[in-house]
């Protein structure tokens, strides 16, 4: 199986240690923001191997500038613990990090404080522009990132639990350790990962099947984001149900592994695509599907920026995982099957069955069926039920 990134073995930061749990209750405490809490979950689960905790400003700026830490580890986005208020932890060497996403704010992790630094406005703007390729506060990722606070608390962490992900999604949330173990049990050697923050329609289904066939892969990891999204996106539990139904009915047996990971969407386009590749390598995947506008939002990125970054900015040998480059897929009326649009140069837009997200929501909210060429009916009915409950 493919090696983890930057390490011979995974380095999950989760600890099951009664002494640390007891110690945490008496430590000075910091209430995390959701972004820092998600970083802790990813560190605990081994997804962010080989990092030992949160970065300092020097590492964050180096990563933003050239995708390397100051110690020459390839890494695409800063992994930070930022806050607006350090009054509760000033002078402390070890602190308890409390979870903002669980009632009662239980301790999520314990951090050894290496440094508390102040991020200047200039550094924040520079980092934002490099990571998001934008400084516009109309960009939801930029808006979130710029509002996380000026204090940067760096240092190694010990993670005590997986926040709400393990309890709310017990059948879906899996650590990188668990995914590697399952891939090994399945006897898979070549595994292609499919990233999703949306339900999967026919085009997504067929794209996974195309990748399986073209790569002669043993299986596909359908890996869904379970964390925070922008307003209007479909909740994780609905996506989970829709994807499970699709795989149950329409995938060959024992070819798809449905899992989820505990992270908030960054909407960072190309840089986030590279992060997706890093932690899918840590999961044991040999390939990652990178499609049109992968991890993008609105019109902030070009349609294939998330593919070209691997050719133009990711140094050779920086990653062991390979990229499967995909175009938009859609049902061809001419060919009576789903195709990648680049493989059908003789087609006009009218030759494809393509619906906008707005049109899909309108049809489902009205209780109208989606075209069979666009969505499996069993999947569409799950989404229809959700949208009709949202209607006034």
Q: What is the spatial distance between Cα 156 and Cα 103, in angstroms, rounded to a whole number?
A: 25
Considering the chain, tell me which residue range(s) the CATH 3.40.50.620 domain(s) occupy: 172-390
Cβ-contact 157, 113 below 8 angstroms: no
For the domain made up of 172-390, give the CATH fold: Rossmann fold (3.40.50)
> Given this model, what pLDDT does residue 31 score?
98
Cβ-contact 256, 220 below 8 angstroms: yes
Considering the chain, tell me which residue range(s) the CATH 3.10.400.10 domain(s) occupy: 18-166
Element (H or E) spanning 53, and its range? strand 53-54
**Average pLDDT of 110-128?**
98
185: which residues sit within 8 A by CB, 6+ positions away? none
What is the chain's Cα-based Rg? 21
In 3D, which of 160, 221, 215 has the Cα closest to residue 27?
160
Q: What is the spatial distance between Cα 266 and Cα 155, in angstroms, rounded to a whole number?
A: 22
Tell me what percent of the chain is helix, strand and coil, each rounded to the nearest 5.
35, 20, 45
Q: Assign domain 18-166 to its CATH superfamily.
A: Sulfate adenylyltransferase (3.10.400.10)
pLDDT per residue as tens digits for the range 347-383? 988 888 887 777 887 888 888 888 888 899 999 999 9
Q: Is 74 helix (H, G, I), strand (E, B) or coil?
A: strand
Rounded to whole angstroms, what are the CA distances from 77 to 218, 350, 361? 30, 40, 33
pLDDT per residue as tens digits for the range 38-67? 999 999 999 999 999 999 999 999 999 999
Q: What is the spatial distance between Cα 21 and Cα 198, in angstroms, rounded to a whole number?
A: 36
Report the DSSP pairing between strands 94-98 and 107-112: antiparallel
How high does pLDDT run on average in the chain? Answer: 94
> Given this model, what pLDDT does residue 368 score?
87
pLDDT at 342 over 90: no
pLDDT at 392 over 70: no
Better-predicted residue by pLDDT, 327 or 247: 247
> So which residues are the catalytic ones?
197-198
Strand partners, 225: 261
Strand partners, 196: 224
Rounded to whole angstroms, what are the CA distances from 89 to 1, 116, 210, 283, 285? 42, 10, 52, 35, 40
pTM, entire model: 0.94
The first and second tokens of residue 61, run together, are 């700026």
Cβ-contact 323, 193 below 8 angstroms: no
Give the per-residue SS3 of 191-253: EEEEEECCCCCHHHHHHHHHHHHHHCCCEEEEEEECCCCCCCCCCHHHHHHHHHHHHHHHCCC
pLDDT per residue as tens digits for the range 174-224? 999 999 999 999 999 999 999 998 888 898 999 999 999 999 999 999 999
Strand partners, 91: none
Report the DSSP pairing between strands 191-196 and 287-290: parallel
Cis before 304 (ω within 30)? no
The first and second tokens of residue 169, run together, are 């999604």
**Average pLDDT of 26-40?**
98
Where do we find the tokens 């939002």?
A: 297
Cβ-contact 173, 166 below 8 angstroms: yes
pLDDT at 387 over 90: no
Cβ-contact 263, 228 below 8 angstroms: no
């Amino acid at each position: 199986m493919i090696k983890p990134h930057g390490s011979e073995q995974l380095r999950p930061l989760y600890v099951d240690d009664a002494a640390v749990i007891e110690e945490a209750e008496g430590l000075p405490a910091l209430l995390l923001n959701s972004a820092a809490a998600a970083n802790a979950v990813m560190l605990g689960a081994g997804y962010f191997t080989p990092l030992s905790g949160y970065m300092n400003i020097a590492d964050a700026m180096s990563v933003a500038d050239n995708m390397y830490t100051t110690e020459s580890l390839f890494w695409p986005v800063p992994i930070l613990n930022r806050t607006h208020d350090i009054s509760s932890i000033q002078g402390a060497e070890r602190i308890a990090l409390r979870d903002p996403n669980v009632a009662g704010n239980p301790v999520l992790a314990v951090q050894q404080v290496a440094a508390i630094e102040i991020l200047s406005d200039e550094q924040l703007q520079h980092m934002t522009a490099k990571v998001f390729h934008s400084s516009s506060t109309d960009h939801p990722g930029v808006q979130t990132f710029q509002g996380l606070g000026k204090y940067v608390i760096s240092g190694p962490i010990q993670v005590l639990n997986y926040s709400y992900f393990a309890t709310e999604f017990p059948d879906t949330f899996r650590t990188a350790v668990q995914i590697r173990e399952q891939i090994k049990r399945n006897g898979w050697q070549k595994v292609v990962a499919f990233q999703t923050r949306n339900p999967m329609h026919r085009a997504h289904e067929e794209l996974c099947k195309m990748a399986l066939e073209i790569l002669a892969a043993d299986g596909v990891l359908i890996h869904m984001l379970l964390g925070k999204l922008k307003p209007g996106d479909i909740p994780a539990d609905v996506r989970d149900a829709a994807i499970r139904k699709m795989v149950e009915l329409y995938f060959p047996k024992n070819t798809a592994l449905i899992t989820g990971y505990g992270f908030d969407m960054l909407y960072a386009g190309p840089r986030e695509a590279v992060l997706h590749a890093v932690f899918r390598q840590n999961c044991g995947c040999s390939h990652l599907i990178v499609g049109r506008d992968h991890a993008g939002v609105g019109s902030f990125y070009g349609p294939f920026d998330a593919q070209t970054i691997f050719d133009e900015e990711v140094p050779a040998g920086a990653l062991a995982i390979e990229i499967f480059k995909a175009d938009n897929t859609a049902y061809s009326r001419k060919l009576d099957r789903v195709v990648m649009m680049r493989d059908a140069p003789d087609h006009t837009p009218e030759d494809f069955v393509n619906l906008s997200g707005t049109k899909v929501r309108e049809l489902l909210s009205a209780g109208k069926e989606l075209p069979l060429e666009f969505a499996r009916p069993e999947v569409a009915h799950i989404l229809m039920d959700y949208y009709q409950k949202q209607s006034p």
